[in-house]
Structures are given as structure tokens and as C-alpha cells.
Structure 1
């Protein structure tokens, strides 16, 4: 199996684990992962946030995470140069979805039926790009009503689960990385031999 070239779109206050873990895991198995953010260049950084549900509170708390270094310049990327797409969550998707180029790029990946992994609030980007109509998916529970209104078949799952529908694999939150990444690797045709 030849290594794949994967694009990850991030922005300030992307969820720390949802960017770091897939980047490191996919790189570890031999794939190239380009990380980009609109209006930023390679070697610049985005701020990350760590989201945690704690103390039986009604929603997650947010703490400042690491600086996540970008590996490519957003303005120079083209979907045709990549085999797959990753859309992490956090607060970044709420402002990334306002960027026309981001939405057009996502639409190109979907139109070409390339594997897409989306987690947590990352599904907001697919929703804005109108790529979820008729698709079965999961995401962070607070995004569920929006996904339903956008025509997705939203299924509430535990945080450590994932759903695959065609070229899309989705999960509610970073505890789902083992299943999300395992299914994404299958979509990429990557075999891990034990």
C-alpha cells in the first residue's frame, strides 16, 4: 500500500486532541498529513483548546491547549493533490464554516468521494458544505439538532464510538479516536499488521 496524502483543516481553538492525535497517528503509519488554516502559512500556528466534561457539569469546559504548527499554506492547496480529508472539532469549525474557500474545498473532497473523517463539531463544516444530506453520521450531541435540520441521519453515539457511511467516518468526541482512526484507515486502504 502506497502512503496517502491527507489534508487536515484547522483553525484557532481547534480541539487539541482532535488535531494532535490524528496528525501523529496517521504520520506514524506512514501517511503524509498536511495541516492548514485559512490566511495562515506553513510553520505558523493555531491555538488549540482542550475540552473536558468534568464534575457532572451540563457541558464541557475549555482550557488553552498547545500551539499546533501548520505544515502547509492554505492558499496553495488543491483537493486534487490529496487522497483524504480530516475535520477536527472544537470551536474552530464555527468560524471556518464562514470561509467560502474552506467550504468549496470540502465540497470537492465529497464530490470526488474521497475518505473524510469528521469528529465533534467538525461536522458543522460538512453541514455548511451540504455534504450530509441523507448521510448517517454522529457528532457532538449539541450539534445533533443542526445535523438533523440539515438533512443528515444523525445518530447519538457514545463518545468512544464512530459511524461509517460511504466515504464518511464520524465520531462524537476525541475518546472515539481508536474507532474513528481504525475505520478511516480502512477507507484509506491501510493495513496494520500485528
Structure 2
């Protein structure tokens, strides 16, 4: 992909910010060469923020579960608002704290005075209210903030469907992470970034229960944000069914921990999948490949994509399906420790220092930390260019 290294974004973070609402813009913008500086009041570069998974688990209100650890890459005290092209504030409970932080509010006001894009999701619109910049602006948020937006003089827009994202002047607003595809598209446009392909592309994602949370959602939303048709299928699930996801994170043990993540919604019936309808197949990792590889029809589908010379991308343990389909023989591969033995026995060539490796139409990545590289490489294979 071309580089937009001259573009930069500031993200204001904090403990118990919503996991997806931080990582999706952080990794996707980096994939296209946009620097994202992540800061939090009272914290320095290298400090971590705890994140929260917000999703509906069968109760009247969303459930909060512990998410990934998020590492800050800049100290709050070093922030110079004039150095950035846009501001992102994820949702989550931390927004209650920063909504009364005068240093944060001054930063928000400076972005607004300069007319630079300010993107808010879920509950972070509370910060915009506190900064006094929503009066007369059309915006949305998590519905519990409807009356707050109106009391502040804003014009409330119902988030219907929940994947909707709105832009009024420099204010970009969405209900939350389900709107990320449209959110990313609007954010790119607002920053003057154009990413185009010669024709609309279609991408199929294979998933199952305990697919890695980031590895399914970040590329799914990224490709949707580029205007691709993105479809998710699981062999024993119907359209609208849920896959439970797994959060795999380094928490100081010998191997990563596992926690329950967001629900991921299957978007088509397995019987409706036709290889000819797609330009690309993506196989995320997590533990779902262990289940998928035991299903002959899934392995056969992967083989057909290869026979048709389609682009195939596998992240983390997703390479298990490539091995079963006989696609790794002689191919350069990126792999973490978890898949090295399997890549070797399948005849693959390990590229030890690489996070993401392209070999012909085959793309492999070590795991979710490599997603910016994986998304960039995937977009290039599909013919996207930065304008």
C-alpha cells in the first residue's frame, strides 16, 4: 500500500475503555500508514490501559467483561493538538472520568476550534458535551445519552440501524463498535484519505466458536470500511447465529491467557457460500480452527479457493487449515511459536522475523499484534491503492 505517514491521529484512552473501540481504529489506521498516538491522563508511554468488552449476553443491558490490555505509545503530557489531523475518543466507562478533566477538555476544544475531525463512539459523546461542542450538531450515541445530547443543544439522531455512523461538520458519531465499517469510511474521507480499488471486492471470513476476538473483528471491519462486501460463515451455524470469541493476551504467564470476548454474528448460511462470489478467503485464529479443521467440507472449501487462485489469508492458528488443505508446501510463512511445528511439518518455510508474509496469493500473519501489516498486505493483494 501507499503510505500516508504524514497523517496522524490522537486517541485519548483510559482504563475500561471499550476494547474494540480502541483497537479497531488504532490498527486499521496504522495499516494505511497513519500514525496513531495513544495517550491517557496520568499515564506515560509504555503504560497499559485495561479495556472492557461491552456486548449483550441475554440481559436487559450490555454485559461488561475484561478485555485485552492496551499499551499506550505516548505520554499525555507530551501532547500537542496542533500536530494531529484528527481526534478519536473510544467509548467505555473511562469517559466519565475524562469528562471532568480540564486538560482533556481543552484538547477537545482545540481540535474543534481548528475544525479537525473528532470521532466519538458509544459513551464518549459525554466528553464532547462537557467540552461544549455539540450544540446545534446532529449526532448519535448509546441511547442512554439521548437526553444528555438534547440537553446540551445537540440534535439527536437515532442509531438505526446500529451500524450507522453520522458526520455533521467535524463531529463523527456512532452508537459503538458495530458501526466501525461506516465509521472508518467516514473518518478516512474526513481526513482526506482515499483508498480505492478498480472494482468492489468480496471477502469471506471463516469462523466458529472461540475465534480470536481481534483476529475476526478487526480485519472484518477494516475490509468493510474499504467498501468490500464482507461475509462471515460457520459450517454449523445459520445467518444471525452468534460465535463466542476468545481474547488471547499476554498477561505474564508462559503462554497467553484466554478470556471470553465479544459475540460475533454469522452473516450467511453455510449452504449459501459459493467460491465464485468471493475474491478472498480470510481464516482468523483462536481455537476455532481446531474445530473447523475436523470438518471435511471446510477443508475442501479452502482447497477450492486455492484451486481458483483466490487470495487466502490466515492469521495465527488459522494456518492449521492451510496445512490440512496442503497449501503450505514450499511457501514462506509468518508464524508465532504456537504454529511453528505445524508449519514445518506441512512443508512451510518459516520467516522468523516477519509479522506478515505474502507468497503469491497466500498471506500469513503471526497473530493479532500483526494485524496492521496483515490488513495492509491484504488490501494490496486485492488491488487497493491509497490516493
**TM-score, length basis structure 1:** 0.97
The correspondence for 1:65, drawn from 44, 60, 67, is 67
* 1:46 paired to 2:49: yes
* 1:123 paired to 2:125: yes
In the alignment, the residues of structure 1 paired with residue 62 and residue 162 of structure 2 have an alpha-carbon distance, to the nearest angstrom, of 13
- Cα shift readout 1:127-151 (whole Å, capped 9, x = no counterpart): 1000100000011111111111111
In the alignment, the residues of structure 1 paired with residue 13 and residue 4 of structure 2 have an alpha-carbon distance, to the nearest angstrom, of 25
Which residue of the partner structure matches residue 266 of structure 2?
A: none
Mapped contact 1:120–1:171 kept (Cα < 8 A): yes
In the alignment, the residues of structure 2 paired with residue 156 and residue 9 of structure 1 have an alpha-carbon distance, to the nearest angstrom, of 25
Which residue of the partner structure matches residue 103 of structure 1?
A: 105
* 1:86 paired to 2:91: no
Which residue of the partner structure matches residue 175 of structure 1?
A: 178
Q: Report the 3-state secondary structure (helix = DSSP H, G, I; strand = E; otherwise coil) of the residue aligned with 1:7.
A: strand
- In the TM superposition, residue 2 of structure 1 has moved relative to its aligned partner by 4.1
In the alignment, the residues of structure 1 paired with residue 20 and residue 133 of structure 2 have an alpha-carbon distance, to the nearest angstrom, of 24
**TM-score, length basis structure 2:** 0.49
- Cα shift readout 1:78-109 (whole Å, capped 9, x = no counterpart): 10111110011011101111211000000000
- In the TM superposition, residue 159 of structure 1 has moved relative to its aligned partner by 2.1
> Aligned pairs, how many?
193
Gaps of 5+ in 2: 198-387
In the alignment, the residues of structure 1 paired with residue 105 and residue 119 of structure 2 have an alpha-carbon distance, to the nearest angstrom, of 15
The structure showing larger relative contact order (alpha-carbon pairs under 8 Å, at least 6 residues apart) is 1
Which residue of the partner structure matches residue 26 of structure 2?
A: 23
Q: Report the 3-state secondary structure (helix = DSSP H, G, I; strand = E; otherwise coil) of the residue aligned with 2:136.
A: coil
Q: Report the 3-state secondary structure (helix = DSSP H, G, I; strand = E; otherwise coil) of the residue aligned with 2:196.
A: coil
- In the TM superposition, residue 165 of structure 1 has moved relative to its aligned partner by 0.4
- In the TM superposition, residue 5 of structure 1 has moved relative to its aligned partner by 0.8
In the alignment, the residues of structure 1 paired with residue 101 and residue 167 of structure 2 have an alpha-carbon distance, to the nearest angstrom, of 27
The correspondence for 2:164, drawn from 157, 161, 167, is 161
In the alignment, the residues of structure 2 paired with residue 39 and residue 7 of structure 1 have an alpha-carbon distance, to the nearest angstrom, of 16
Q: Report the 3-state secondary structure (helix = DSSP H, G, I; strand = E; otherwise coil) of the residue aligned with 1:121.
A: coil
Mapped contact 2:16–2:94 kept (Cα < 8 A): yes
In the alignment, the residues of structure 1 paired with residue 79 and residue 194 of structure 2 have an alpha-carbon distance, to the nearest angstrom, of 27
Mapped contact 1:159–1:174 kept (Cα < 8 A): no
In the alignment, the residues of structure 1 paired with residue 162 and residue 70 of structure 2 have an alpha-carbon distance, to the nearest angstrom, of 23
Mapped contact 2:112–2:133 kept (Cα < 8 A): yes
CA RMSD of aligned residues (A): 1.0
